[in-house]
Amino acid sequence: MKDQPPEGLRYPWDTAPAEGEAIEVAPGVLWMRLPLPMKLDHVNIYALDEGTGWTVIDTGFASKRTRAIWKTLMQGPLQRRPVERVIVTHHHPDHVGLAGWLQAEFGAELLTTRTAWLFARMLTLDDQERPAPETIAFYQSAGMAADVLARRRDERPFNFADMVAPMPLGYTRLRQGDSIAMGGRTWDIHTGNGHAPEHATFWSRDDNLVLAGDQILPSISPNIGVYATEPMADPIGDWLESCERFAGLARADHLVLGGHKLPFTGLPMRLRQLIENHHGALKRLLAFIDTPKSAGECFAPLFKRSIGEAEYGLALVEAVAHLSHLYQAGLATRDRGRDGAWVYQRKE
Ligand SMILES: [Zn+2]
Ligand SMILES: [Zn+2]
């Protein structure tokens, strides 16, 4: 994730809700936050007032601390009325983490896209003590630094089940082009791709609200990576297609309620920035691969800053995504280099 200046964007609230508290960002729409134990240290969640209870958007990691905060929220801002529906924007653990818990403990109905549900459930069931051989091969293909690879080989990898509560069978599918009634409004559903496949976003027909998840964020660009599950995916191409499509829907007065950072207005400009950032990164990368380079060698032109240990994995999958996009667009060649890594070179 890269930091960017917030030019042209407006942030109606300069501070986020405190732990266990909510800010009403529009009539019947509450904004709340849950902590994450990472550099990006929070996720935003929202609750929409249904009169009898609530529809909540996203859920946080499944941790003891987050469950306790949820209970505080239920007693406080949610006024002891039930969570009737839980909407998950995409399958990442900070968003889906407690969906299964809200289903199992509180009887909430889960609504999400089919891809998000299948991915989340598959990954929570895929318990790994050590990285799968396909993952190690994928890291080697990406040119992961030898010391990092040696360490990862012998470590328990990130397991979805460590951060995502068990997911019971059964959910309600959300689709591109559907609409849904929530919080006294009708919302059009538009799905995006690139950050996560079939990521749901919700566009109110009745006022200026957009529930964007991680598809559109202010001040940081969502991570876009390629993984061993689909090594020839082209999430950069998918991402650009989504941004261009959403640009046709975006209004300057839209209040964007995203999964991280602050609510903002200025969506048309933000989408342009996100598109230009990737075009800029691809251009710098193309100039850099005048001689063959693996993904692990491409952090400098892509990120323009040094990458620490904690960010290494995200940086690597993002570098693979950009190089593979150039390769699949016919702008670069790809050959096996030393140590079995793919090395990419600009076509003359
Ligand atoms: Zn995400
Ligand atoms: Zn997120």
Separation of alpha carbons 91 and 259, rounded Å: 12
Looking at residues 111-140, what average pLDDT do you find? 96
* Ligand (nearest to CA of 260): 2
Q: How far is the CA of 148 from the centre of ligand 1 (A)?
A: 24
* Ligand (nearest to CA of 195): 1
Separation of alpha carbons 254 and 270, rounded Å: 11
Q: How far is the CA of 81 from the centre of ligand 1 (A)?
A: 28
pLDDT averaged over the chain? 95
Q: How far is the CA of 346 from the centre of ligand 1 (A)?
A: 31
Q: How far is the CA of 339 from the centre of ligand 2 (A)?
A: 34
Q: How far is the CA of 176 from the centre of ligand 1 (A)?
A: 18
Residues 6+ apart with CB under 8 A from 147: none
Q: How far is the CA of 90 from the centre of ligand 1 (A)?
A: 7
* Number of DSSP helices (H) and strands (E) in the chain, helices first: 11, 14
Separation of alpha carbons 162 and 164, rounded Å: 6
Q: Domain locations in the chain?
A: 23-127+158-280
pLDDT tens-digit readout, 274-297: 999 999 999 999 999 999 999 999
Q: Does the structure show a pLDDT above 70 at 260?
A: yes
Q: How far is the CA of 18 from the centre of ligand 1 (A)?
A: 22
Q: How far is the CA of 291 from the centre of ligand 1 (A)?
A: 33
Two tokens at 167? 């997911």
The class level of CATH for 23-127+158-280 reads alpha beta
Q: How far is the CA of 214 from the centre of ligand 1 (A)?
A: 5
pLDDT tens-digit readout, 300-333: 999 988 898 889 999 999 999 999 999 999 999 9
* Ligand (nearest to CA of 259): 2
Q: How far is the CA of 45 from the centre of ligand 1 (A)?
A: 13
Please tell me the pTM assigned to this model: 0.95
Two tokens at 308? 């620490």
Residues 6+ apart with CB under 8 A from 138: 227, 228, 231
Q: How far is the CA of 212 from the centre of ligand 1 (A)?
A: 11
* Ligand (nearest to CA of 92): 1
